[in-house]
Chains A and B, each alone.
Chain A
Amino acid sequence: METLPVTQSPPDPEPGPDGVRVRLPRLRVERRAMLWWVLRALLQWGLLLAALVVARSLWEPARVWLLAPAIAVAAIVAVKLAVEPWWRYHVHRWEITEQATYAASGWLVREWRVAPTSRIQTVDAVRGPLEQLLGLSTLRVTTASSSGAITVQGLDRRIAEEAATRLAAVAELVEGDAT
């Protein structure tokens, strides 16, 4: 009976069922990132709220119908300004080692991701207009998977660039087509 060509896999770690955890990534993101999240929320939800308020004041017959959406959006804006940045700052962490890239993110839905360096295909440091203003940068590490990118938001521009360069250099050494 033929089997698929499988590369050798190391023996199972076979960890005990319980008590196995991952430690947190070592590094936090910049404190300035909180400001970035605030500005981002203002630009997205704040503008929507402003539009609703303006529409309500200008368009008489729609007042009743726009009240509920306006209140809902106002609540979202309040949470996004008061809670999200602070919460994200406490969750977001990252770490890059020789073997892997490891990052934790999210607030209501938290997630951590690990990608081995051998699978990395591209490394980008992305800077949007707001990030440029704050001297921040987002590190984006992609693998061959269409849904496998690891993004680390709110890094200092220099740190992100340096990390991208070094990661790209390390990743290049690894053989194979990284799928």
Chain B
Amino acid sequence: MSAATGPGTGSATGAGPGPVPEAAPATPASTDWQRLNPRVVWVDLAQSVLSLAPSLVAIHFVGLEPSLSALWPLALVAVVGVIGAVADMVRWMFTRYRITATDVERRTGVLVRRHRTMRRDRVRSVDTHAKLRHRVTGLRVVTIGAGQQTGAGESALFLDALTKGEAARLRALLLDRRSPAEREAVQSADRTGEAPAPAHAPSEPAADGGPRTDRDAEVFATLRPWWVVHNMFSIWAYLMAAGLLWSLYWFFAMLGIDLLDIATAVADRASLGRAGTVALAVIVVGLIGALAMGVNFLTSYWNFELARVRTGDTSQLRTRRGLFSTREVGRDESRMRGLSIGEPLLWRWMGMSDTNVITTGLSLWNMEQPTAILPRGPIRVAHAVAARVLGSPSPFDAPLAAHPPAALRRRLWWATWVAAVPATAVAVPVASDAAPTWLLWAALALWPVALLGAVIAYRALGHAVVGDHLVVRAGLLSRTTSVLRRDAVSTIAVRQSLLQRRLGLSTVSAKTAAGWGAYEVPDLAAHEAVAFAARAAPGVLDEFVVGAPEPEEPVAGASGQGRGW
């Protein structure tokens, strides 16, 4: 499949040696329409055949009775596999892409033809990932993103799939943010040997004059195997175990073995009583789930590496990871607006943390969590990485201002209200003997828990302005510290509810294009709120800030005769 590895590269530039005419398509990229790699079709076909294998083996060699109930999953897999392979074939036949001097274009679709054009200077990310089947066959799925807003993932451009070499070439080509003319200048200089180009510059024919793959990478973090401990215990473990046991059950059911019967028989023999059995089941299933989570973590984060990669005059935070299926994501640092580190409540004692970048153009809702630059791991590592990403001294190390005690009072009030609702709801049925008394006690027991939650939430509050960054910390279930660049704040809002007004509190909200869109500082002292807001968004409030108490009456009447400008 040599045809797929950028045939135009050599010929296009080779055509014009020496001084390049201005009008020539000033790019080393091919401008011919190209196909995806045809291996895709065979890979999918092979995969569906392979997924049938165990069942076929079971039927053939075990001599299984091919009953309808045992066969329907088999038939389903077969049908899905064939449909998938045919669809892939059609997709391959009707998909073309090309990269011109200014655009990335892709045509696809059979009944609905789509022609998507993306301007090259808008390309913000070129990510590759590969499932096991892609890795075995040397293919990569390439996702070209133009920095879409959250939720607009549809507008990315997928190429599924290209050869590994072609994917690397595309990536290098598209992320080189220099203008075509500059690129060409470097190229021709390289060619004629005039440039003071470093002698060790590799002369790969596939890559153009600009980026070298790994030479400029500055590694911030790599996987530590013990991080697996941080990723084994979560409520998802039970879901994982349920999935595993379910598929195990079905697999053995196809072979005519009922695992449920065996399990009940074992439980009966152990004779633990109902409570004991349930407890044991919970523990065993939890353990299975935790183990599965651990294995899952290790396979998906194997070889994890976070690095800053410079390409031309841009730099990216790049993560690569994966054992069987690999994924490589680059995040344009010029789009980054900050970092946020979350610490889940239940695991705070062991210093567990999630680290995400606050950036425009990456979806927070994506299952693959493209904003996470570190796997869940120790907070020390997160802080160390943050210091390297943001520059030291890290804003995360700065002392945060505590919030006034009134903020605690507000939380205690809310906790009391929240606890009062179920208590009053069960009070009447309990009083009229319609419900057991313990229900009321259970409802009342919520109160101290809620109060404790209020205290924890209060202690999580903090804010500061450190250098060019705004630091905000809040959150009960996940105490999240967010560091946001002050020049990224696009709107500043100060809010006050009736209760807050009584308690002398205000909530300052810094709105930005990146991440969650708004980063809030809940419950500042009202008299500090304006000063803090003014520092959080430098210059924005200047016109409206007054040192003295505000004037009582507005100047103009309702009819808007005297407009403010």
Contacts and interface: CB of A to CB of B under 8 A. Distances in A.
Interface stretch (A15-23, A38-46, A64-72, A74-82): A15-23
B360 interface: yes
A2 B495 contact: no
B interface bracket (residues with beta carbon within 8 Å of A) = 35 or more
A3 interface: yes
A19 B548 contact: yes
Contacts of B493: 111-114, 148
Interface in B522-565: 527-528, 530-531, 534-535, 537-551, 554-560, 562-565
A114 B508 CA distance: 12
B550 A15 contact: no
B488 interface: yes
B391 A2 contact: yes
B554 A27 contact: yes
B485 interface: yes
Contacts of A93: 554
A97 B565 CA distance: 6
B303 interface: no
A13 B465 CA distance: 12
Interface string B457-499: 0000000010010000000000000000111101111111110
Contacts of B390: 3-4
A99 interface: yes
A interface bracket (residues with beta carbon within 8 Å of B) = 35 or more
A18 B150 CA distance: 38
A4 to B, nearest CB: 6
Contacts of A18: 527-528
Nearest to A158: B560
A22 B546 contact: yes
Contact of B546 (A23, A95, A97): A23
Nearest to A22: B544
B550 A24 contact: yes
Contact of B491 (A23, A29, A99, A143): A143
A95 B543 CA distance: 11
B336 interface: yes
Nearest to B465: A12
B102 interface: no
Contacts of B514: 179
Given A113-B492, A114-B540, A146 B556 contact: no
Given A109-B496, A109-B497, A22 B563 contact: no
A166 to B, nearest CB: 8
Contact of A6 (B487, B511, B562): B487
A169 B218 CA distance: 44
B565 A22 contact: no
Interface in B305-342: 308, 315, 333-336
B241 to A, nearest CB: 37
A169 to B, nearest CB: 12
Contact of A145 (B512, B551, B562): B512
B84 interface: no
B490 A144 contact: yes
Contacts of B150: 146
B495 A27 contact: no
A167 to B, nearest CB: 9
B517 interface: yes
Given A10-B538, A146-B518, 14 more contacts: A6-B485, A16-B531, A16-B547, A17-B528, A22-B545, A25-B554, A26-B554, A26-B556, A26-B562, A102-B544, A116-B539, A145-B512, A148-B517, A178-B513
5 contacts: A4-B391, A5-B333, A13-B538, A28-B554, A145-B518
